[in-house]
Amino acid sequence: MRTFRSGWTYIETVECTPPPLSTAHLNRCKSCDYVVLLTKYHNRMSNRKSAGDNASECAIRVFCRVRPLNDSEKSQNSKFLPRFPSANTITLSGKSFTFDRVFQPSVTQDEVYQMAAAHIVQDVLDGYNGTIFAYGQTSSGKTHTMEGHLDDSEHQGITPRIIKDVFDRIYQMDTDNLEFHIKVSNFEIYNEKVRDLFDATKTNLPIRESKNRMPFVKGATELFVSNAAEVLAAVEEGKKNRQVAATKMNEDSSRSHSVFLIQVDQEDRETHMRKSGKMYLVDLAGSEKVGKTGVSGALLDEAISINKSLSALSNVISALSHENRSHVPYRDSKLTRVLQESLGGNSRTTIIVCTSPAACNESETRSTLQFGQRAKTIKNIVVVNEELTAEEWKRRFKAEEAKVKELRQIVECYRQSEADSQKESNAFDQLVDKLKKQDDEIEEKDAEIDSYVEQVVGLKQVIAMLSVEVEQLREHSTMQAQRICELDQSLHELSTQSESTVQEEPSELMDQAISENVQELHHLHNLFGGDVFRRLADLVTGKIRTPQIVKPIRSGQQNPKFAG
C-alpha cells in the first residue's frame, strides 16, 4: 500500500543529488591484450546506466504557442502576421523559425499539455528534475498556458494538469513497496527579491547552494501533500499573494516571476533505495515597452526590474548557445540563479514561447522567436537523483574496485607495450645502421664494376683495332706468298734456262740473276720468319705478349715493317 506524508508543514529544503561519476578515457593501444582490456573498459562505461550512473545529454525542448488576436488588437485592425508552413515551423514576415512544435491559435489546452508537458511527469517520478516555463511579452498568453482556469477542466493550464497527472500515475503503479513524500513550495521574484507566496511575511528570501552546488531558496515554506486537491488548494493560496496589476496591454498583468516547485521523494521499503525528482513550473512576467503599457511610478520600476531580469535570462541563453562558452552569467539576476539547474544543468527542460500574432507586436514577437531558437541549442546533463543504501554503496564500491583493477591492467599493458616498442625501436635503429653499411659497400662495388666496364670497353676497342691489323697482315701475307710462288717459278725457269743456255750466255749474267733471286728469297724469309709471324700467331690465338704491338695500334700508327 502506498503511503503519503501529508499536512501543511514547514521544513527546510535539503538537496541530496550525488555528483555524476567521472571517467578517464585512454585512446592509445599497442597490443592485443591492451585492446581487449580497453574494449572491456568502454563496454563497462556504456553499461553504467544499468549500474546507477545514468548521466545523459538532453536538449532543451522549445515549443511556440500563438494566441488568437485579442479585442484590443482587433479594434486596431491589426493584421494576423504569422504563417504556419509545417507543424513545427512558423514564418514571420518571410523569416522562418523552427521549434519542436508550433501551436496555432486553435490548439486546445489539453493538446498543449500532452505534447509539451506530460512526458516530464514520468521523468520526475523516475528521479529526474524537470522544468517548464513560459516566455514572451506581456499579454502573450503565458499565464493562460501555465495556469489557465483552475476550476475549469477544459481550460486548465499545464500546472493543474501536471498536479493531477502526478497522483494518477503514482496510484497506477504496480508495486506496493514504494512510499512517496510529496511537498510543494511557491515563491515569486519581484523587484529582484524572492517572496514566499505561502507566507507573505517572508519577502526577501536568500538563494543558497547545497553541498552539491545546486541553488535553492533557503527558508521557503514547503507543504507536504497527499492528493491533487491539496496541491490545487496550495496553488490558489499562492495565487492570492502574487503581484498583478492592470496595464494598457493586460488587465491582470503579472508583475513578478512565479515559481511553483513540486518535489517527489520516493523510497522502496524493501531495498531502502530512495529517489527524488523536482519539477519547476515557472510563469515569467512579460517583457514590456513602456510606451505600449503606459505604466509609471511603481509600475514603471516593476517594468524596469522585469525587463532587467529577462535580459539576464536572455544573456544566459545566449551564452549557453555558444559551444566555446567560458562564462555563463547566472548570478546577474535572482531569476537566472533559481533557473540555473534548468538551463545547462541537471534538468529536463521545456520552454514554451508565447507570442502575439498582431502586426502591432511584430518586433516583440520576433524577439521572442529568436529567444526560443537560441534556447533550442542548449543541452542539459541529466542524472537520476538517488540516495543509495549501504548495500548499494558496497555493490558500487566493489564495481569501482573491479574497474580500477581493469584500469591498472590497462596501464600495465600500456607500459609493457611502451617497453616493447622501445626494444623494437632499438632493433630498428640497428637494422638501419646495417643497411647503411651495406649501401656503402654496394656503392663501392658499383664503382669497381664501373671501372671494370670501362676496361672491358677499352679492350674491346683494342681487339677491334687488332682485328683490322690482322686482316691487313693476312692480305699482305697472301700477296707475299704469291710473290714467293712467282719467285720460285722464276728460279725454276732460270734453272731450266741455265741448263739450256749455259753455253750461250756468259756465266756472269747468270750468276747475277741467281744472286738477285736469292737475295729476294732471303728478304722474304727474314720478313716472315721472325717477329711478324709471332705477332700473327699472337693475334690468331688472342694473346698479346708485348706492348710494342698494342701501342702503335692505340696511337693509330702503322707498323713500319708493313709500310709500303
Instruction: Indicate the annotated binding residues for ATP.
Output: 136-143
The helix or strand, by DSSP H or E, that contains position 339, with its residue range, turns out to be none
Name all contacts of 116-123 with Cβ < 8 Å and 24+ positions apart. 116/61, 116/63, 116/158, 116/350, 116/352, 117/158, 117/161, 117/162, 117/350, 118/161, 118/165, 120/162, 120/279, 120/348, 120/350, 121/162, 121/165, 121/166, 121/169, 121/279, 122/169, 123/277, 123/348
Of 315, 184, 300, 314, give the one whose Cα is nearest residue 253: 300
Q: Positive or negative, the Cα torsion across 106, 109, 114, 117?
A: positive
- Of 334, 280, 289, residue with least CA distance to 130: 280
List the beta bridge partners of residue 381. Answer: 57
Residue found by looking up cell 529536463 in the block: 348
Q: Give the SS3 label for residue 450.
A: helix
Output the DSSP codes for 457-496.
HHHHHHHHHHHHHHHHHHHHHHHHHHHHHHHHHHHHHHHH
For residue 188, the one-letter residue type is E
Per DSSP, the residues of 175-211 read -S-EEEEEEEEEEEEETTEEEESS-TT-----EEE-T
Say which amino acid occupies 536.
L
Binding residues: 136-143
For residue 298 the three cell numbers come to 511603481
Give the E-state strand segments of 366-472 in sequence order: 379-382, 386-387
